[in-house]
Structure 1
């Protein structure tokens, strides 16, 4: 009787298995401290097979960044797809953002912490992801101005600054929420809405903060 051979795993599934392991190892240890041996062991494959599929540690880390970036952007966009007023879309998008980062802590660690210290190429990949999210938030702020005044009344530079500040605050809050299991995605999103949207509402109504005289 001939030997029964195990069914061969499809390439896409094998790559996903290796990327899952790589994201976890990179997320826990960072790019420099992570080893291909540890990634192969966690994936349950040989190290030569990891190199066969993904060529090098650098390319493997880049693949992790690209996959996790795409997943995060898709989650935010899908979360805000319900439509409605600009504040509702931002609220839904923020909840999706915090839900995704909480459910994928290793992926978020790769994007937010380790990619920024791994080298210029990795930083560029993360910044491309970040700019896509900033552009999405910019559109919501412009839409909010249109709803409040019938036209985008805020200067373009001010809108750009507000979007950058909002995304930066969301990134910081995600780091905080992921270190405190008692903080829910809904609470993190509400914190940011209270901090940012209330101030944006005042700005829309012309109630601007100004430095005190002589400051």
Structure 2
């Protein structure tokens, strides 16, 4: 009596979709939005092109899904890394470590967010902008908390705290593309930023 081999187990939709997103992030990061084709993504994911379209509809929707996933993961990593209840400098340090470690461990995702998603013609630039606003808001709240906890010195206005947060986030984004390791990059930025911020919080400001 003839026997047949068992059919391979069906891959759950959620798992298959994540595999496609993993492949898409890698291809988009390497090739950019415009140059990437759905054929390339299908080959990288090891599936047929019709299956990619079935799950993720179009190249625009696929790119948007990649951006949403990577932006959410980065924001979550930064928030999870911050040592709540620690002194202000320790909170900032731990948040920077979380940022640099995540961008180092997810290089394709960071390339997608920081480079290609902001380029002309790529959809979902608003997703990246929203992620950046969320991180800036979070850093602003950390700086505001530090100012309120300072033993002396003038109260730091909200717009000034936000300006400092914007500068800090911009510097972190620039360093994320450097050759420094995560801990080195975080230490470099703390040495650059906290010495000045620490003085500011105690009322020592620079004047021309």
The answer, yes or no, to whether TM exceeds 0.5 is: yes
- Shift, 1:209, TM fit: 1.8
- Is the Cα–Cα contact under 8 Å of residues 170 and 192 in structure 1 kept in the other structure? yes
1:5 to 7, 26, 40: 7
Equivalence for 1:14:
16
Aligned ranges 1:1-215 → 2 under 5 Å: 1-2=3-4, 4-119=6-121, 121-149=123-151, 153-176=155-178, 180=179, 183-211=180-208
Structure 1 residue runs of 5 or longer lacking an equivalent are none
Give the stretch that moved more between structures: 57-66 or 199-208: 199-208
Q: Normalising by structure 1, what TM-score? A: 0.91
Task: Tell me how large the CA RMSD over aligned residues is.
Answer: 1.6
Post-superposition Cα deviations, 1:159-195, rounded to whole Å, max 9, x if no partner, equal 110010000000000011xxx2xx2211100000111
How far apart in 2 are the matches of 1:89 and 1:26? 33
Q: How many residues of Structure 1 are paired with residues of Structure 2 in the alignment?
A: 206
- Shift, 1:206, TM fit: 2.0
Structure 2 residue runs of 5 or longer lacking an equivalent are none
Q: Normalising by structure 2, what TM-score? A: 0.94
Distance 1:192 1:13, change over 3 A: same
How far apart in 1 are the matches of 2:153 and 2:5? 73
Distance 1:205 1:151, change over 3 A: closer
- Is the Cα–Cα contact under 8 Å of residues 145 and 204 in structure 1 kept in the other structure? yes
- Shift, 1:150, TM fit: 7.0
